[in-house]
Structure 1
């Protein structure tokens, strides 16, 4: 951008147990042609953070320590920036943006005054297939940055909710709103719940390219808990009214079928048997009228959980 903008953008990254992953993401964020006015990292402890030399490269950076849990951490970040930012951009610690991402984000909000939330078009998403290798992610980003026609091919479109790996909001539209801390730990579906409570139009912006690496940190160790949340969180959000019953039940059914179909041929990084076990425990609680997201705590082992 040739002129300094009066729009203030704050980037909030929540992380736990992945300092090396976060360090790489910060390198890509440092490439922005339009820098963030503030960068807030919300971690659980100092052990979650990269080397101090890495953090020292970002004079606008603030570190906040919080209780574990994605919704809690996002709320602490939001509370830190909502009074002095016009736009809040939530990024996962393994989301790599193109160099013009923040500039594109500002342009979308200025061009569409009625839009209150924006999510980016993903060049790749590794959350469902074991993760995008860093070298492939870099190649995709470099290609996108060199392709002057990408904005014409990837047109903006309206969406009902935003994807939590990269989602931005006007602070004027979310002032007073908070992520639902009833959804603990990785907060399954917390992004859908929050974005559907925000008034106004939401948009996927074609120019806001990026790669969600979906970084896998070894074999899944909390499959039962995740399987329970796949049932309990959606049931809770249906009762709450932020998820449509038909689409919510369809999502539960797809997750349950996927977990059971792959019990004997699971992906190396997913414990499908444990997820299926959690699904059944969630459905039993649902029938008994005792299904609640916070009951997932019964199935948590004392280890760090990836947020996504």
Structure 2
């Protein structure tokens, strides 16, 4: 079981979340941290789990691809964690058990006990407290082979997802989705899902802290909210109705909340990015890669 963490600009946070992997009841065989510069991973190599540090071009897809290229066929399963994800201590153990329970399962994502992306974010301490509270609940122990909470999915959530590596032969994250790679998880895992079964399980859990630092600026993310969906719909890896719901919800949220924006969200920047993307769409010039030139 390999673990891959892509990061940029959040060295201290990454060190803390990497250190937490030592708590796993099933220790990872190898931890690979992919970043852009030595400053992005300062102190991370000294973690007790002894991660390997890899450098790649900036962008979530490029960084994850660098890890996949490095791994080759050396592992049976690979788990991708965001640098602000705190897994339950038995996360990797339960992932392995689920994979081994059914060879048709090619991808797994855990249930989120909390997601700070919907707020100003959560601290590591808050995330650990939520995980501990879940572990103490009487229904926290489940057998994945008989768990009714093992649910089929059409795609996985990128902050925590595990894949059967043999099902990813010939597949890579689409580097036409630059920087934060918004919806790259939908694209990649939809393709893997054509080769087997994607599931989520209540027996596999964690907390996505949703830390704001290091994320794509408002205007660029706003452009991606339109450009990436249109691109993936044309590619055939984004369900049209899902894409339309995402686009509509984001544009409405940016429009309404730009009048009274949250302190932690650049709504006006996102709205302006939406406008620029629609303008490019009408002119036939829409391109997700444009955000790298903004």
Verify same fold: TM over 0.5: yes
Deviates more, 1:129-138 or 1:69-78: 129-138
Q: Deviation of residue 53 (structure 1)?
A: 6.7
CA RMSD of the aligned region, Å?
Answer: 1.6
How far did 1:52 drift?
Answer: 5.6
* Aligned counterpart, 1:268: 263
- Identify the match of residue 214 of structure 1 among 205, 210, 214: 210
**Could you tell me how far 1:249 is from its partner in structure 2?**
1.4
Please give the residue correspondences for 1:13-32 in structure 2 after superposition, counting only pairs within 5 Å: 13-32=5-24
- What TM-score, normalized by structure 1, do the two folds share? 0.90
User: In the alignment, which residue of structure 2 is the partner of 1:303?
Assistant: none
Distance of 1:155 and 1:48 partners within structure 2: 38
Q: Output one character per residue of 1:124-154: Cα deviation in whole Å (capped at 9) or x when no partner.
A: 0111211123332111111122234124598
**Which residue number corresponds to residue 306 of structure 1?**
none
Instruction: Give yes or no for the alignment of 1:82 onto 2:78.
Output: no
Superposed CA deviations along residues 200-242 of structure 1, whole A, max 9, x for unmatched, are 1100021111000001228x77211110000000000000000
1:297 Cα deviation after fit: 2.0
Tell me, in whole angstroms, the C-alpha distance in 2 between the residues paired with 1:53 and 1:118: 28
1:240 aligns with 2:243: no
Partner SS, residue 23 of structure 2: coil
**Using the alignment, how far apart are the partners of 1:123 and 1:52 within structure 2?**
26
**Alpha-carbon distance, 1:34 to partner:** 0.6
The aligned counterpart of 2:220 is 225
Q: Distance in 1 between matches of 2:74 and 2:261?
A: 47
8 Å Cα contact 2:73-2:166 kept in structure 1: no
> Match of 2:90?
100
CA contact (8 A) 1:221 1:271 kept: no
Q: Which residue does 1:40 correspond to in 2?
A: 32
Partners of 1:17 and 1:47 within 8 A in 2: yes
The TM-score normalised by the length of structure 2 is 0.94
Verify: 1:192 aligned to 2:186, yes or no.
yes
- Range with greater deviation from structure 2 (138-147 or 260-269): 138-147
CA distance in 2, matches of 1:225, 1:190: 15
1:58 to 49, 67, 89: 49
> Residues 261 and 136 from structure 1, CA distance in 2 versus in 1: closer, same or farther, beyond 3 angstroms?
same
Aligned pair count reads: 288
Q: 1:29 to 1:50 in 2, by over 3 A?
A: farther
Give the gaps of 5 or more residues in structure 1.
1-8, 300-308
Q: Distance in 2 between matches of 1:73 and 1:276?
A: 28
- The structure-2 alpha-carbon separation of the partners of 1:287 and 1:80, relative to structure 1 and needing over 3 Å to count, comes to same
SS of the residue 1:122 aligns to: strand
Any stretches of 5+ residues in structure 2 without a counterpart? none
Note closer, same or farther for the CA distance 1:208–1:50 as it changes in structure 2 (3 Å cut): farther
Deviation at 1:175, TM superposition (A): 1.7
